[in-house]
Structure 1
Amino acid sequence: MIQVHNFCAGPCLLPDEVYKGAAEAVLDFNGSGLSLLSISHRSKEFMAVLEEAQQLALSLLGLEGKGYSALFLQGGASMEFLRVPYNLMKSKAGYINTGNWSSKAMAQATAFGEVSVLASSEDRNYSYIPQQINIPSGLDYVHYTSNNTIYGTQWQDIPQADCPIVCDMSSDIYSRVYDCEQIDLIYAGAQKNIGPAGLSVVLVRDSIFGKTGRSIPQMMDYAEHIDKGSLYHTANVFGIYTCLLNLRWLRNLGGVQAIEKINNQKAATLYSAIDELDYVVGLADVEYRSKMNVTFDFKEERMKEIFDTLCKEASILNIKGHRVAGGYRASLYNALKQQSVDALVEVLHAMKTKI
């Protein structure tokens, strides 16, 4: 295969051994003579996969044995924008708006009650994380997005409230040490740091349900999915198995503590170049910079064509910013190697001789 450096924001890179293991299972799953794509989602072989994936999903974040359930659902994080208020909103919920995905989550919640915007960074194009937020009592839950994929900002702390805390952790889950036990419901689209697109992973404290007073369709009911062990409907067998391979890889690497050190180094390498080079501009405020999604641009429009050409020559792919934000974005998810970051930094420095 051609050696490329893929900075895609999602679906993202997975470790080489995960690709290999998933490919082998498609041909012959665990020596069964059957393809992974053809085994029953209720077979003992897949039940073992699902149970191990659920266990690792919780244990890697320190949530095993703490009253949480792990769900592997279909629809991605966008489905959870809807499921969360369906299950938790009785009359009023608080949302902190730090980007496009927060806004989409808020839009879904308005169908179930009042949405209180507790704080927003929209005034400066989502370049920072609001601080000193006054969260009133009596809300059904508070929702925030831990890492803002499009704008390149990231929370360092966790909002405090007298109600359940809900976090969309799609783009930085399993990337850093974070006190997840302070959060009552974590959801994430799998396609950032967990597995292939099409799945959402939900880690939820079991005690927060049953308080809305509404009748919830079974497909949307978290309690129903917990009761059925993520098997209310036919499971995404391939997706969950690939997630398991990736979670095993992370465990064998040393867990979240180990990958955080690697991720910190990758981010430091790239941000150092951005700050050093006077023709590059970081788009997020320094104190709120994401270590997963680094956003930047150039001071002059003509520099973009030079950069694009050099990236193509260096086999650097998917570096353009999101269509709503423009500029450039380098996504540094767990499986991205330091060599790829070094290649990007080399291109940034090479522009000196071209401009």
Structure 2
Amino acid sequence: MKHNFGAGPCILPQEVFQEASQAVIDFNNTGLSILEISHRSKEFEQVIQEAEALVRELMDVPSDYSVLFLQGGASQQFAMVPMNLLPEGRKAAYLDTGVWATKAAKEASKVGQVAIVASSSDKNYSYIPKEFSVPSDAAYFHYTSNNTIYGTEIFEKPNVDVPTIVDMSSDILSRVINIADFDLIYAGAQKNMGPAGVTLVIVKNDILGRTGRTLPAIFDYEAHAKAGSLYNTPPVFSIYVSMLNLRWLKEKGGISVIEQENIIKARTLYDEIERNPFFRGTANEQDRSRMNVTFVMDTPEQESAFLKLAQERGMVGIKGHRSVGGFRASIYNALGISSINALVDVMKEFEELSK
């Protein structure tokens, strides 16, 4: 049995894979594959409408927000956010907590002025900055809620008095949030929602159309909202599989239920990292991510031996990112507690073998 701890894309429930694979052959007894049906057909309209309804229900999205399914990944949102929300002559505030936050700020700087309000780069992004202020004249404040490479996560929205934008690509749908706290949320699907190829955007309608910029329609949130995410041919299959996964999440009991499972999974693995003398975590304890658990060995020379043992026991994707080294266990929604327990058993086995 394989245990997929890869950072993405993507781990999804087996029943989602099974239903999606059937739809590739014959979608809903239409005699056509989901890969070939028209995005203008009533069959796909039902898919995208259900996907939006499930997002609204599961996340309790207020009626004055648009739910969009776009392309280009979160990286395209790095540019679309300032294009749509940053007026000429204004500045945007960014919190720098890792690679993706840095890239978001860099893209925004090509559109307008950017102020980095705080950064944790001084300690290789192993913590979340706490003491910072956001200029009151900033057009918006942007942060990345979960940092996949460095294993840190922001659980409480920073207390700021300007519109707040958050990149939730790697912790979307993993915990309960109050949508009304944010003006725009975006997330690449390929961690917790669905396959790569579709990006979820939840945006408060009244912040749009205020920059005075003339945008190409493909980069204009208002154009996509007016078209119901069908301005151009959407990623049909990715949206369909995301819909199936949203159904699965609803059937489990919703986000509050999966959040409790995620807390238990993370605690189980962190407890072993703390207990086992061969391992130590890399992120500050108070800032540890529930989605991406990063750890190293006190004796780096032993890391290759542990990686070999883990791979022999079916662990996949646990090698850490080159920026941090060591190991990274990504424990997204669809990864069961049995996989966490299997990794813990391997860590204990390595401890015994090394005595």
**TM-score, L = length of structure 1:** 0.97
Deviation at 1:29, TM superposition (A): 0.6
List aligned pairs for 1:82-93, cutoff 5 A: 82-90=79-87, 91-93=90-92
Cα distance in 2 for partners of 1:205, 1:58 equals: 13
Matched, 1:101 2:92: no
Residue 317 of structure 1 and its aligned partner are, at CA, apart by 0.6
State which of 59, 69, 76 in structure 2 corresponds to 1:72.
69
Q: CA deviation at 1:180?
A: 2.4
Asked whether the equivalents of residues 62 and 180 of structure 2 are also in contact (C-alpha less than 8 Å), the reply is: no
Q: State the secondary structure of the residue aligned to 2:95.
A: strand
1:229-308 equivalences in 2 (<5 Å): 229-308=228-307
Amino acid at match of 1:75: G
Q: Deviations along 1:46-76, whole A, 9 cap, x unmatched? A: 00110110111122111142x1111111111
Partner SS, residue 140 of structure 1:
coil
Using the aligned pairs only, state the percent identity: 51
Where 1:93 maps in the other structure, the secondary structure is strand
Give the conservation status (yes or no) of the 8 Å contact 1:193–1:334: yes
Q: What is the match of residue 128 of structure 2?
A: 129
Alignment partner, residue 40 of structure 1: 38
Tell me which amino acid in the other structure corresponds to 2:326: G
Deviation per residue, 1:26-63 (Å, 9 max, x gap): 11111111111111001011001101101111221111
Shift of 1:323: 2.5
For 2:224, the aligned partner's letter is H
Q: Find the aligned partners of 1:140 and 1:324 in 2 and give their Cα distance.
A: 32
Q: Distance in 1 between matches of 2:91 and 2:128?
A: 23
Q: Does 1:340 align with 2:301?
A: no
Q: Which runs of 5+ in 2 are unaligned?
A: none
Number of the residue aligned with 1:153 = 152
- Mean Cα deviation higher: 310-319 or 154-163: 154-163
Stretches of structure 1 lacking an aligned partner (at least 5 in a row): none
Aligned residue among 27, 30, 36 for 2:28: 30
**Contact 1:58/1:203 (CA < 8 Å) preserved in 2?**
no
Q: Residue 186 of structure 1 aligns with which residue?
A: 185
> Does the CA-based 8 Å contact 2:145-2:167 persist in structure 1?
yes
- Provide the residue aligned with 1:116 in structure 2: 115
- Give the aligned residue type for 1:196: P
Which residue does the alignment assign to 1:212? 211
Q: What is the CA distance between 1:160 and its match in structure 2?
A: 2.7
| Count of residue pairs the alignment pairs up | 352
Alpha-carbon displacement from aligned partner over 1:75-118 (angstroms, at most 9, x marks no partner): 11111011001100112000000000000000100011111001
Displacement of 1:211: 1.3
Q: Does the CA-based 8 Å contact 1:283-1:297 persist in structure 2? A: yes
Of 36-45 and 125-134, more deviation after overlay is shown by: 125-134
State the 1:298 CA deviation.
0.3
